[in-house]
Amino acid sequence: MRELRADLAIAGGGPSAIAAACAAAERGEQVLVIDRQPAPGGQIWRGQTNEWHERFRRCGAQWLGRAEIYDAAPGMTLMAQAPDGPAAIRAGRVLVATGARELFLPFPGWTLPGVYGAGGLQALVKSGLNVRGLRVVVAGSGPLLAAVAAQLIESGAHVLRVCEQAERTQMTPFFRYVAMHPEKWLQAAELGLLLAGRYQTGVWPVAARGAGKLEAVELSSGETIRAEALACGFGLVPNVELAQLLGCDLAGDGFVKVDEKQRTTAPGVFAAGEVCGIGGVEIAIGEGLIAGGASASLDRSFRGVLAAAFRLRGELRRLPQPSTYVCRCEDVTWSRIEPFDNWREAKLQTRCGMGSCQGRVCGASLGFLKGWPPPEPRSPLAPVPLESLASE
């Protein structure tokens, strides 16, 4: 197995990782950034270039793209499956900057072709998918919905409705925070103008209907909208599995526990960005800079504002019907999972969470539906060739 060495190995290549890499490399550290994506940028800067990309290019950090980190071993070693085979990355310290993924909740028809993750459809559009003329409903929860809707409109799609499950009154502190921060206010005002008449609060999808592909979306309000695509996501969940393999403790809210220097509870392991809390790109960059050794003053209060404003309503626990798939990798329906009261039993008896996503989708949704703590991550974190495991 190929061996790579660095002073600082960064898992993930999003804004927090780029900021950390720049801060550390500019101070003379040998930095290696590893990401499954072909280019640096993470979720928000996918397919774009900006001044951070330029600074990253100049800072001298090494980039290992299209590389999936699937394991971690004691002594700061990460295992990655790169295009030219597996690599063992040995580093003086590790920064976990693995970001977050979308939370999907199962409802009748959510596995129909034409139903996408909201961020998933956005990523496809950023990668060149043509959505011109496509009739789309965007639904679920969180500020990502508005960003996705805006991107779809700019790309020529007909966004018919944006449905936010939270009530407007619950979102008041969010609007108040935005109004007090000029850069956020400007962005919100632009989105508000673009989405005027289409953004609805207190409404969520209860079913996706169609023969073989999506034809209509049924809403909790009783309305049915004819659409070719539904872009749906109920907020974000942190990608904490690698941090857990490295021995980092999680806080009570499920994010990686860090101190003011972004140190985790595992010696030599740092964490930054959405893996420590959902709060947007500015906080991710600030935490990255701190983890990379720079000083930055940082207000993280937006995280609490977001969590309260977009808290999921209890009615969403009644979305799945007996025949609704909860684990779509292993075709396990709600009626088969519902009787169990813990993950382990459900997994052993139904194979729920044992498919190729290894519970990353159904584990998070069952965390909400049943209150089950997510399953303990096990290596390999992602499917890899047997020969990679054998060569460890």
Sheet bearing 216-219, strands edge to edge: 205-209, 216-219, 224-226
User: Are 230 and 208 in contact, with CB atoms under 8 Å apart?
Assistant: yes
CB of residue 15 to ligand FAD, shortest distance in Å: 4
Length of the chain: 392
Residue 243 touches ligand FAD, criterion: CB under 6 A: no
Residue 274 touches ligand FAD, criterion: CB under 6 A: yes
Q: Which residues fall within 8 angstroms of residue 165, CB to CB, at 6 or more apart? A: 139, 140, 141, 202, 203, 204, 234, 312, 313, 316
CA distance 165 to 170: 10
Q: DSSP assignment of 175-194, as one string? A: HHHHHTSHHHHHHHHHHHHH
CB of residue 375 to ligand FAD, shortest distance in Å: 16
Number of residues that bind ligand FAD (CB under 6 A): 34
Residue 102 touches ligand FAD, criterion: CB under 6 A: yes
CA distance 257 to 277: 10
Residue 108 touches ligand FAD, criterion: CB under 6 A: no
Residue 281 touches ligand FAD, criterion: CB under 6 A: yes
Contacting ligand FAD (CB under 6 A), which of 21, 61, 63, 99? 99
Give the closest residue to 157 by CA, choosing from 193, 125, 133: 133
Near ligand FAD in 32-71, by CB under 6 A = 34-37, 42-44, 68-69
Residue number with CB closer to ligand FAD (37 or 324): 37
Q: x/- binding map, residues 137-166, to ligand FAD, per CB under 6 A?
A: -------x--x-------------------
Residue 101 touches ligand FAD, criterion: CB under 6 A: yes
User: Are 45 and 52 in contact, with CB atoms under 8 Å apart?
Assistant: yes
Strand partners, 94: 9, 269
Cβ atoms within 10 Å, residue 141: 25
Contacting ligand FAD (CB under 6 A), which of 10, 89, 100, 203? 100
Contact range with ligand FAD by CB under 6 A, out of 13-21, 189-197, 218-226, 312-320: 13-21
Instruction: Tell me which residues touch ligand FAD (CB under 6 A).
Output: 12-17, 34-37, 42-44, 68-69, 97-102, 119, 122, 144, 147, 236, 239, 242, 273-274, 280-281, 284, 381
